[in-house]
Amino acid sequence: MIDFSIILAGFGGQGVLSAGKMAAESALIEGKEVSWFPSYGPEMRGGTANCSVVISDEPIGSPVINEPDVLIALNQPSLEKFEDTLKPGGIIIIDSSLVKVAPKRTDIRFIPINSSEIASELGSMAYATIVLLGCVSAATGAFTRESFEKALYDVLPERRHHMIPNNLNAFDKGAEFAKK
């Protein structure tokens, strides 16, 4: 049974809220139950932003996550804020181009990915979170590449559809890291 909770956290503007929405949209396409809850507090103004995503085969109880299965951290403060809350055996995925100090926890799986560098090679920093989503997909099975691709067609306006191959490329590069 699939029952995952993911916290995506970073600076406002890095696209963590949109990335969380893409994860939820992808899982929804597979008929799963999903919820997405953003931080909308005062910390968003120039500070950190985060969202909680729950993906489950069963009806979802709380959309508010206290102990995530997966943490995606796009900056150092986010890693420090949420590291201790991760479930034992959970997964921490970081953008290692931006997060320089590794987590202290040893009871978790740690996957550092230089996603910002990969994104800039693909031509846009917007792909950084997509690289990380590719890793989540491959590491957890919470949603597939196929449904992610369908979600892109659903969510992106047609004038942006030319970016879909690059999005999938970024997704695949992230997935590679889960296999290491």
- Applying CB under 8 A, which residues contact another protein? 21, 24-25, 28, 33-38, 40-42, 60-64, 66
How many C-beta atoms lie closer than 10 Å to residue 39's C-beta?
18
DSSP 34-55: EEEEE--SGGGTTSEEEEEEEE
Tokens of 174: 């992230």
Closest among 22, 130, 139 to 89, alpha carbons compared: 139
In the bound state with another protein, the residue whose beta carbon lies nearer, of 30 and 80, is 30
Q: Which is nearer to another protein, 45 or 100 (CB)?
A: 45
Task: Measure the CA–CA gap between 42 and 49, rounded to whole angstroms.
Answer: 10
Nearest CB to another protein, comparing residues 13 and 41: 41
**What is the nearest approach in angstroms of another protein to the Cβ of residue 5?**
10
**Phi, psi of 94, deg, nearest 5:** -125, 155
User: Min. distance of Cβ 62 from another protein in angstroms?
Assistant: 4
Give whichever of 41 and 123 is closer to another protein, judged by the CB atom.
41
Tell me the closest approach of the beta carbon of residue 113 to another protein, in angstroms: 26
Which of 44/126 has CB closer to another protein? Answer: 44
Which distant-in-sequence residues (6+ apart) come within 8 Å of 133 by Cβ?
Answer: 19, 22, 23, 148, 171, 174
CB of residue 3 vs another protein: minimum separation in angstroms?
A: 11
56 Cβ partners below 8 Å, 6+ apart? 1, 2, 3, 4, 32, 33, 34
CB of 59 to another protein, least distance (A): 8
